[in-house]
Amino acid sequence: MTTSLTTGPQARDAGALLTIDLGALCDNWRLLRGRIGGAECAAVIKADAYGIGLEPAMAALRDAGCRTFFVAHLSEAVRARTVDAAAAIYVLNGFLPDTGPVYARFNLRPILGSLPEIDEWAAFAEREPSAPPPALHVDTGMNRLGLSLEEARALSARGLPNALRPGLLMSHFAGAEDPADPITTRQVRRFEEVTRLFPGIPASLLNSSGHFLESAPAHALSRPGYALYGGNPVPGRPNPMKPVVRLEAKVLQLRTAEAGEGVGYNGRRTADGRRRLAVLSIGYADGYPRPASATDAKIAADLPAGEAIVAGRRCPFMGTVSMDLIIIDVTHVPEDEVRRGDTAILIGDGLDVDEVGQRAGTIGYEILTGLGRRHSRRYVNG
Ligand SMILES: *Cc1c(COP(=O)(O)O)cnc(C)c1O
pLDDT of residue 358: 98
Kindly give the pairing relationship between strand 203-204 and strand 168-170: parallel
The pLDDT value recorded for residue 340 is 98
pLDDT at position 166 = 97
Q: Is 250 a catalytic residue?
A: no
Helix (H) or strand (E) holding 137: strand 135-137
- Tell me how far the alpha carbon of residue 143 lies from the centroid of ligand 1, in angstroms: 15
Residues 89-92: contacts with CB within 8 Å, 24+ apart?
90/135, 90/168, 92/44, 92/46, 92/145
Closest residue by Cα to atom 4, ligand 1, is 225
CA 123 – ligand 1 centroid, Å: 29
Question: In 3D, which of 82, 182, 199, 78 has the Cα closest to residue 136?
Answer: 199
Residue 265 annotated as catalytic: yes
Contact 333 CB / ligand 1 (< 6 Å): no
DSSP for 205-247 reads ---TGGGG-SS----SEE---GGGGT--SSTTS---SPP-EEE
Q: Does any ligand 1 atom lie closer than 6 A to the CB of residue 224?
A: yes
Q: Whose CA is nearest to atom 15 of ligand 1?
A: 92
Q: How far is the CA of 267 from the centre of ligand 1 (A)?
A: 41
Choose which residue among 71, 223, 244 to substitute to test ligand 1 binding: the one with the highest number of ligand atoms within 8 A of its C-beta.
Answer: 223
* Distance from the alpha carbon of residue 51 to the mean position of ligand 1, in angstroms: 14
Give me the average pLDDT of each 10-residue run along the chain (382 residues): 76 96 98 97 98 98 98 98 98 97 98 97 95 98 97 97 95 94 95 97 98 94 98 97 98 98 97 98 97 97 97 98 98 97 98 98 98 94 90
Question: Which pLDDT value is given to residue 133?
Answer: 97
Single pTM value for the model:
0.96
